[in-house]
Amino acid sequence: MRAITFDIESISDSNVRGHIDVNEQELTVVAIHDSETGEYSSYFKEDLPRLWPILERADQLIGFNSDTFDIPLLNRYYPGDLSHIRSLDLLSEVQKVLGRRIRLQSLAEATLGKGKKGDGLKAGEWWKEGKKDKVAEYCIEDVRLTRELYEYAMKHGVLKYKDLRDIRDIKIDTAHWNAPTAAAAAMTHAFQL
């Protein structure tokens, strides 16, 4: 199964009470990890035509807050509909269990013992200062954390977060994460005949 773990960075002048409107965002960079090659790469807006074939050949997209932010924002640039590709949103999986959202930073620190190397606001400042490569590096680091959290959950069935002073487990049901979809299973069965 070819999985693309991805993240995007964007900028906007609109931010109402901490809520980010996807429709007000302008994409700056997309970073990915391709499970087929094991490589990390990044794509600026002008490079997106090179990214589309990679995403189209993916069996699954893996992200963090990707179903409600990254995929809808990318769909504004993509000539088709990326929501037809199977996706796994780690934030949604955590929210299903806890009933609330946990920041990527909190999950990474508690689960992996390391955190992010900045934040989205800082990345926006770097972009406005013309430091495009620094934004791309930051985005790749977020993809790396997301990928490592995914792999940790697959191996251990948990992710961790800090609740006041204590590190707590979030039991994650990963059984369906790599299960073939009905269409893929039907195609596999057809080839075996």
Say how far apart CA 188 and CA 32 lie, in whole Å.
27
User: Are 152 and 159 a contacting pair, CB within 8 Å?
Assistant: yes
Which pLDDT band holds residue 181 (cuts at 50, 70, 90)?
A: low
For residue 63, pLDDT beyond 60: yes
What is the residue whose two structure tokens read 């600026």?
44
Say how far apart CA 168 and CA 70 lie, in whole Å.
28
**How confident is the model at residue 20, as a pLDDT?**
67
Mean of pLDDT values over 52-61: 96
**How confident is the model at residue 189, as a pLDDT?**
32
Whole-angstrom CA distances from 83 to 60, 149, 177, 185 are 11, 22, 16, 19
**How confident is the model at residue 29, as a pLDDT?**
96
The candidate with the shortest Cα–Cα distance to 1, out of 187, 193, 157, 190, is 187
Q: What's the CATH code of the domain at 18?
A: 3.30.420.10
Residue numbers of the domain that contains 160: 3-192
**pLDDT, tens digit, for every residue of 159-170?**
999 888 899 999
Please state, rounded to an integer, the average pLDDT across all residues of the chain. Answer: 88
**pLDDT, tens digit, for every residue of 87-136?**
999 999 999 999 999 999 999 999 999 988 777 777 888 888 999 999 99
Q: How many domains does the chain have?
A: 1
